[in-house]
Amino acid sequence: MWQEIVFWLCAAGAVGTGIAVFRVDSMARATFALLASFLFGAGTVLLVELTYLGVLVILMMIMEMVIMVVFMVMYMMNPAGLMPMSMLHNQRGSLAIAAGTFALLTAGIYLVDWPTSRAPRPGDPTKALGEALMGPKMLVMIVLGLALFATIVATVVLATNRGRYDRYGDRLERDRPDDPVRGGVGR
Amino acid sequence: MIELTPWWGALLLPPVLAAFAVAAAVFDSALTARAAGAPAPRAAAGAPLRAAGGLLLQQRRRTLAADAPLWRGAGITLAAAGVLASLVTPLGRWAVGDLSVGIVWFNAMEIVAWAAVWLAGWGANSAFGLVGGYRFIAQGLSYELPHMFALTAPAIGAGSLRVADVVSAQDGLWFAVWMPVAFLVFLATVLAMAFRRPFDHPVSRDTAGGVLAELSGVDRLVFLAGRWLLLVSGAGMAVALFLGGGAGPLLPAWLWSVLKTAAVLAALVWAGHRLPTVRMDRFAELAWLVLIPATLLQALFVSIVVI
Amino acid sequence: MDLRGWLSRRLPVRPLVVPVPGGTASRLAAERTCRTRGWYSAASPAEANLLVVAGATDGALEAAVERVWQSMPAPRARAAIARAEHAEGQLDAAEATLRDTFRQRRQATETVHPGPEPEMAGRGEDRDGLMLDQLTVPLGPVLPEWPAGLVLHTTVQGDVIQDARVELLGLGQVSGGTPWWPYGGGTPRRGLAARHLDTCASLLTLAGAGRAAITARRLRDDVLLGRPAAELTGPLRRWSAGVRRSWPLRWLLSGLGPVDDDLAPPPHLAGDVLARLRRFATAAEEALADLDEDGALPGRSGDESGDAQWTIETLPRLLAGSELAAARLLVASLDPDIEALTGREVRP
Amino acid sequence: MTFANALIALALVLGVTGGLYGVAHLVRLGSTGVGMRPFLSGHDPAEHALSRFHVRWYALTMIFLAFDMEMVFMYPWALVVAEKGTSAVVEMFVFLAILMAGVVYAWREGALRWT
């Protein structure tokens, strides 16, 4: 009973804050409305006893949304919405896409013959996840590790405007980098 | 063995944390008074409570074109996160919450400070506040990964993310003894997440108090209370993860928990009086190139020991 | 029960001290009184409940003080300390006002005088060639740990200063001369030691080294109150050694705010923030070594007006492209004595 | 049970906070000061502070995001490392070493700097 109440509260909260994302003018409010929407989503995940996943969603989404707000406020005009303006573009097209997607997903829920599993649920899903990662799903982790490494390198290449040749000289001959502002390690 | 308290245990959690917070604030104020050569150190003991009363009395203020809901929400969010971070921390044999992923829960609640502090800086439409808020995000980017690796070391040692299992795994030997790097990094990052000195750059005087610059009255009181609660929660978790929780001879387990938490809290406050403010333009590289590898090596050492 | 009055009587006093050119003696007296009473200074008007104006203000400086007063929440009181010997009495009176709930309630209902409506931020090219929003952020005259009468009109993008323009306020009221030498009836060496300790105290406060900063302030007050040199030598040496040898300070301040030799700085202002801090700490110790002697003075050249002139001329160049925290530490480490500029032709 | 307790504790925090606001309302000396100018060293603000805020550590945010994905694996891994033994340890620390190599590269390029 109480699970149902909490579920519907979370569902309504997620949709409501999701709508709010597009109704507010301020980048900060939009981002934190989106965060609230994710947290309500995490509530539903906790309800189905996927504790690790639920808590992880809370953990990751707060970090991600705070980092997103940094970029939103850095790049978007008028980030606090102090001047009247609308964040909405191509309303008709997006309405059509949204309605279509909603219809498709709803149809999918009712029309697809979802398989059911008779296997018992694992005692601790977190541990099962760990075992899967160290066993059959090991390749996923390896590939992801390389992808993340590539992300780091690509970010650094694209985002920094001074590289090692500016810092250490054309032949990398300096022992200590020549920077306008010092850092904490290696001066 | 750690048991879950009935529902009224949840009602005791905030008052217990608040008592620790007041005690820590009193100790902090006594240290300041001693250094300043102010008369009557006994008066210093009452100073935090008198200051809290003064903030109740003080007029609230709203700055021009402030983002009021986000700004006011910041303090309440911080206070709530400070309390909920302690949900899974046992006091002696009792815990209010018991999650199979208690350590991750603590991690998630402590991250809430990222959002709360930035919002407090953003909400006031003040240049100094904004600078303070952004300083805290840079701080978060620096301390968070060492913090997470410091959290995983006891989890690997106990083979569990449940705080109760971590406590009982320290039956023979406290984790602080054979995971000293993780313990010290954890303590440092607790200071960083509660943005207390030496990690107080987001509220530093060079920007007229940073995120605190425009807060007055009860709004300021709630935000500052949240900050102390977060520090207390961090100290409590340090006791559970590294100092054997309520384990100890003679005295009852709850008293050991209280004494250890008080000791950790005192050490954290004392360290704040001894160290200068750490700016992130210096700390970021140190965190990424020294603290992350150090905590990783600690985790490697622990995992080699357990297999 | 009168809860409001009960809280009022127990309210901690949080002063915000506004330094004013010509008011150094008043400021020192006010700071000493506040410290010994356990009134810790506030960082912003929202935190403060007592506005202490140390010296006589006029014109633009008066307007700045008035704006700060307007933005202070009730309960609040102000004290104008024109002469150092009146500091205690004025602060007593202000405290009484602060704790008078009847007056505070009446005052709290006064309407706030609105200023001009702010605009949206304009854009400008940043250090790396991007077009970014820029804000006008003036630093001073009312700012914690800031030289009296100095205003830096900075344009910032994020927390980076793009450019800075210097303005000096409150010089009209100053009668001239250097305030540190005759103050407290001491000798030039006492004045000099106190001046160095004062600079170090501000700098250490901004660096967040609270204990060392408070100790510097206590020593400064003791030097000026004429405590025998024999009693001061030990504590001063310990403090100075602690500051100079502290490795956290070294790690945090080295390479910050460098002043290159091609800017032709006065010798004691050359180097980075750390070098200046160490130099002033050493100089304070040396000045004290034979405190009541005459003779050559260590540290500052004695030409305060020349130093201040160089500083205000060079600051815009030093600050361009600097981060706010670094800028604050740089200004505190140069610590120009604006009131020494009276009677000179000022070309900021 | 745990989540019920969490909700009770949360409700109490919100209740106490509300109580503090209530007490503050009772003993207040005056109503909330509205339209206060933000502190700007005694000057009126020329512009709204809420504008585009340029940060100089944007590279750090991206490196953080990439590195922190790894925690998704590390927490469950901590539960099984004792059973799975050496292979799990090697696996995870090779993974971490790859990421750490990326960090060292970023450091050498000056991406962790405030410049």
The Cα–Cα gap between A61 and A55 comes to: 10
Residue C346: the pLDDT is 52
- Chain-chain contact of B285 with D113 (C-beta, under 8 angstroms): yes
Picking from A55, A167, A179, A181 by the largest number of B CB atoms within 10 A of its own CB, the best residue to mutate is: A55
Per-residue pLDDT of chain A (187 residues; tens, 9 = 90+): 888 999 999 999 999 999 999 888 899 999 999 999 999 999 999 998 899 999 999 999 999 999 999 999 998 888 888 877 676 788 899 999 999 999 999 999 999 988 888 788 777 888 888 888 888 888 888 888 899 999 999 999 988 878 888 888 888 888 888 887 888 887 6
What single letter denotes the amino acid at residue A147?
A
Q: Are strands C50-54 and C15-19 parallel, antiparallel or unpaired?
A: parallel
- Chain-chain contact of A161 with C254 (C-beta, under 8 angstroms): no
B165-205 per-position pLDDT tens digit: 999 999 889 999 999 999 999 999 999 999 999 999 999 99
Question: Residue D57: its chain A contacts at CB < 8 A?
Answer: none
Alpha carbon of B94 to those of B6, B91, B246: distances in Å?
10, 5, 10
Of the CA atoms within 13 Å of residue D50, those in its CB half-sphere come to 28
Annotated domain spans of chain B: 3-306
B 223-242 residues inside an 8 A Cβ radius of D: none
Q: Give the tokens for residue A29.
A: 């409010």
C77-122 per-position pLDDT tens digit: 999 998 888 999 999 999 999 999 999 988 887 766 677 788 888 8
Q: Which residue of C has its CA nearest to B198?
A: C208
Which of A59, A66, A181 lies closest to B137 in CB terms? A66
Annotated domain spans of chain A: 1-80, 123-180
Query: What CATH number matches the domain at C3-108, 2.60.40, 1.10.3470, 1.10.1660, 3.40.50?
Result: 3.40.50
Q: Does the CB of B143 have a partner CB in chain A at under 8 Å?
A: no
Q: Between D87 and B240, whose confidence is greater?
A: B240
Strand order in the sheet with C15-19: C15-19, C50-54, C77-81
Residue B70 has pLDDT above 60, yes or no: yes
Q: By the 8 A CB rule, do D42 and B208 touch?
A: no
Q: Are strands C77-81 and C122-125 parallel, antiparallel or unpaired?
A: unpaired
> How many other C-beta atoms can be found within 10 angstroms of the C-beta atom of residue D80?
21
Chain pair A-D, CB pairs under 8 angstroms:
147
The Cα–Cα gap between B191 and B233 comes to: 11
- Chain-chain contact of B79 with D29 (C-beta, under 8 angstroms): no
Q: How many residues are present in chain C? A: 348
Q: Which residue of D has its CA nearest to A131?
A: D80
What single letter denotes the amino acid at residue B261?
T
Supply the Cα-derived Rg of chain B in whole angstroms: 19
Tell which residue, C203, D17, D61, C6, has the closest CA to residue B77. Answer: D17
Q: Does the CB of B148 have a partner CB in chain A at under 8 Å?
A: no
Specify which of A125-134, B228-237, D62-71 reaches the highest per-range mean pLDDT. Answer: B228-237
The Cα–Cα gap between C341 and C311 comes to: 11
Q: By the 8 A CB rule, do C259 and C271 touch?
A: yes
Q: Does the CB of A169 have a partner CB in chain D at under 8 Å?
A: no
Out of A173-182, B25-34, B131-140, which region has the weakest mean confidence (pLDDT)?
A: A173-182
Q: Which residue of A has its CA nearest to C326?
A: A181
B88-117 per-position pLDDT tens digit: 999 988 999 999 999 999 999 999 999 999
Kindly give, in sequence order, each residue whose CB lies less than 8 Å from that of residue A50, ignoring residues fewer than 6 positions away.
A125
3-class DSSP state of C118: coil
Q: Are strands B61-63 and D33-36 parallel, antiparallel or unpaired?
A: parallel
3-class DSSP state of B199: coil
Q: Write the Ramachandran bin of A50: left for phi over 0, alpha for psi from -120 to 50, otherwise beta.
A: beta
Question: What is the ipTM for the molecules in this complex?
Answer: 0.94
Burial track A146-174 (b if 16+ CB lie within 10 A, e otherwise): eebbebbbebbeebbebeeebbbeeeeee
Q: Which residue of D has its CA nearest to A164?
A: D109
Residue C178: the pLDDT is 56
Residue C348 has pLDDT above 50, yes or no: no
Q: By the 8 A CB rule, do A50 and A27 touch?
A: no
Share of chain D above pLDDT 70, in %: 99
Q: By the 8 A CB rule, do C170 and C20 touch?
A: yes
Residue B89: the pLDDT is 95
Distance from CA of B289 to the nearest CA of D (A): 7
Q: Give the tokens for residue C58.
A: 């006029």
Tell which residue, D75, D69, C178, has the closest CA to residue A148. Answer: D69
The Cα–Cα gap between C223 and C220 comes to: 5
Question: Residue B136: its chain A contacts at CB < 8 A?
Answer: none
The Cα–Cα gap between C164 and C183 comes to: 33
Question: Residue A65: its chain B contacts at CB < 8 A?
Answer: 115
Annotated domain spans of chain C: 3-108, 179-301
Question: ∠D18-D39-B139 over CA atoms, to 5°?
Answer: 70
The conformation of residue A54, written as its DSSP 8-state character, comes to H
The Cα–Cα gap between C97 and B81 comes to: 39
